[in-house]
Amino acid sequence: MRLPVLARLGAFSLLTIGLAGCSSTVQDAFGLSKRSPDEFQVVRRAPLVVPPDYRLRPPGAGTGTTAPAANSTSQDAYTALTGQPAQPDTAMSPAEQTLVSQMPQRSIPDIRQTVNNEGDQVATLDRGSYLFLFTWQRADDQAQGTVLDPLAESQRLRQNGIVTTRRLQSTPLQP
């Protein structure tokens, strides 16, 4: 009985010594420690610009005015190292040139109208053209049958010898 207790104690002590020898803590291994952001991975964004006059309307679509493009991090680094502004690389790579050369040169001027019409055609499909997954869905589209007059039906059941448990009051049917 004494040996298994000593064996357990020895295994536990070896395990704790092994964990203590690790370079990271147990909390790090289980993801319980707080990780601060890497200061070299933080990207600085350009500051917001306050308009000179608050009465100016914001630019709308098609006005031709766009916001100036923000410098990339590599352009900022080039400017910081050389003291000269970086020239944007406007030359296309061979892959981009191949892609552009294989594109069709024609464009569809009324593509927005075409897409809207296609969407309208999908929205106006009749109920018979849908794919029904369950048989009870198709039964809902068919005629529901005729509406029975409760008083006449109760009278017909009594004439046939079928006893009804409730008496219906005579109220006119609402069309």
In a domain, 10, yes or no: yes
CA distance 7 to 4: 5
DSSP string covering 101-153, please? HHS-S---TTHHHHHHHHHHHHHT--GGGSPPSSHHHHHHHS---PPPPHHHH
In a domain, 164, yes or no: no
In a domain, 117, yes or no: no
Does the CA dihedral 99-104-109-112 come out positive or negative? negative
Question: How many Cα atoms sit within 13 Å of 153 on the Cβ side?
Answer: 8
In a domain, 172, yes or no: no
CA distance 168 to 162: 15
Instruction: Indicate whether this model's pTM tops 0.95.
Output: no
In a domain, 109, yes or no: no
CA distance 164 to 154: 7
CA-based nearest residue to 141, from 131, 149, 150: 131
Angstrom CA distances, 145 to 40, 120, 133, 141, stand at 74, 32, 23, 12
Reported as a single tens digit per residue, the pLDDT across 126-151 is: 555 555 555 555 555 555 677 888 88
Give the model's pLDDT for residue 83: 86
Residue 10 in tokens:
């020895």
In a domain, 15, yes or no: yes
The mean of the pLDDT values for the chain is 74
Question: Domain residues for 19?
Answer: 1-31
Burial pattern 120-139, b for ≥16 Cβ within 10 A else e, equals eeeeeeeeeeeeeeeeeeee
Q: In the block, which residue shows the tokens 């006893």?
A: 163
Domain count, the chain: 1
In a domain, 14, yes or no: yes
Reported as a single tens digit per residue, the pLDDT across 17-44 is: 776 666 667 677 777 777 777 777 777 7
In a domain, 25, yes or no: yes
